[in-house]
Amino acid sequence: MSHFTYGIPILEITYIVASVLFILGLKMLSHPLTARRGNILAAFGMGFAIIATIAFHKKDGEPIGNIPWILLAIIIGTVIGWFIARRVKMTAMPQLVSFFNGMGGAAAALISMMEFPHIRPEFIAEHGMANGHVLAILLGLVIGTISWAGSMIAFGKLDGKIGDMRIKAMRYVNMIMMAIIVGLVIFIMTRNVTNSSELSAFVYILFSISLVYGVLFVMPIGGADMPVVISLLNSFTGVAAAMGGFLYNNQAMLTGGILVGSAGTILTVLMCKAMNRSLINVIAGVFGGGGKQGAEVTGTIKEITLSDAAVLLSYSKKVVIVPGYGLAVAQAQHSCHELDKLLTEKGVEVRYAIHPVAGRMPGHMNVLLAEADVPYEMLVESEEINPDMPSTDVVVVIGANDVVNPAAEDDPSSPIYGMPIVKVRDAKNIIVMKRGMGKGYAAIENLLFFHDKTRMLFGDAKTSLQNLINEVKNL
């Protein structure tokens, strides 16, 4: 390892600089106006750490070998990542997040698989197998594998290729498998061996069981819980990466892993709070896609014409738009922003009510509307905008379902009972844009559609919005 004149390791200094860039980048992600620069800053920090590692890292006095292969792998990964990111649609952004997160978990698991057979015999003779080094390897393997397998299943679910597998005994099977995983880790760490390769078979068994557990862990979870699952798996990947940081005494890797792990954990807690449910309840998979259906719905559906909707919106003082996954599916965010600008020009106060779990990943609606250049100040969290609902003239619900369902407040038999919602029924008038009367991801009927104040505007969201814009312009 190269040093400054005063003996300060250059590599460690670069890792500290990279860690600072990670932290600053994460801080800048807190606002859309600085988010892009934050991403660039964090990416620059990672590139800085990689270059420094290749240039200055030495093991047993020898520099890193196979540099051409390393550079080739970096180039291939960069090209593939750039190509995928450029082509992905906003509707597929949750799948992309799950896929990339899974790749991080897979990388952490591979590091552990490669490092375990190379634990030095003299290190084992001095410390035995029960030490922090071995524990970091095994935890990186288990957590990374679970994150990888679970993220791939989440990817399949979000992409509609994999359905829910709801078997009552599944939770008990998962508990047994987790107990086996913990038992195997303890078994490996308490063996009296002279060479770690003697336990390689058990490590492969541990990997296999973790892989199966990662699949079964996510399979029963309903689609409505995907935002929670994604953030939880994201925290798993961060913890697995942090284990690699401990393993290599790499400050940049450790800092990055801790940031991802802690941010993912905090986000998971916030998502659970937004749904008024415990994490155990989410993992048990008792919400969405089955189970209780709630009370029987009574009432009639009332429709509204485009011309009537245009008049109602144009002569309102306050309008709130509630976006949901249907807005993303229709790729209608730009049309939606065009409508809000048109109404603003007419003197209407327009805001967006953002529910924390609207869409299929944390912050999905924020990202979607940011792409359409909707001012960040117009986006208001549901708990902040709810008190203003009684003074709101019109609420326009576009593709949202479960997050506006009054059953969460009125029906104790409903599976979403107790979940905080956007209280759109308190507004004076409600317009709901939907393709049809399909149910949301919780697979229950939406009582809002049958409310006396509600008028349905059926059709593709993008087409309906564009037609509505034309009607407003003609007034």
**Active site residues per annotation:** 402
The dihedral formed by the CA atoms of 136, 139, 142 and 145, expressed in degrees to the nearest 10: -60
Residue 144, token pair as written in the block: 């990374």
C-alpha distance from residue 57 to each of 9, 60, 63, 64, 414 (Å): 10, 10, 6, 7, 58
Q: Are strands 318-323 and 58-59 parallel, antiparallel or unpaired?
A: unpaired
Residue 321 contacts residue 398 (beta carbons within 8 Å): yes
Q: Report the distance separating Cα 369 and Cα 292, nearest Å.
A: 33
Which residues face 367 on adjacent strands? none
Q: Report the distance separating Cα 395 and Cα 341, nearest Å.
A: 16
Spatial CA neighbour of 258 closest among 276, 277, 237: 237
The residue with tokens 């393993």 is 247
Residue 328, token pair as written in the block: 């993303």
The dihedral formed by the CA atoms of 356, 362, 368 and 374, expressed in degrees to the nearest 10: 50
Q: Report the distance separating Cα 82 and Cα 89, nearest Å.
A: 14
The dihedral formed by the CA atoms of 160, 162, 164 and 167, expressed in degrees to the nearest 10: 170
**Strands (DSSP E) found in 127-170:** none
Which residues face 432 on adjacent strands? 397, 456
Residue 250 contacts residue 385 (beta carbons within 8 Å): no
Residue 388, token pair as written in the block: 């203003």
What is the residue type of 147? S
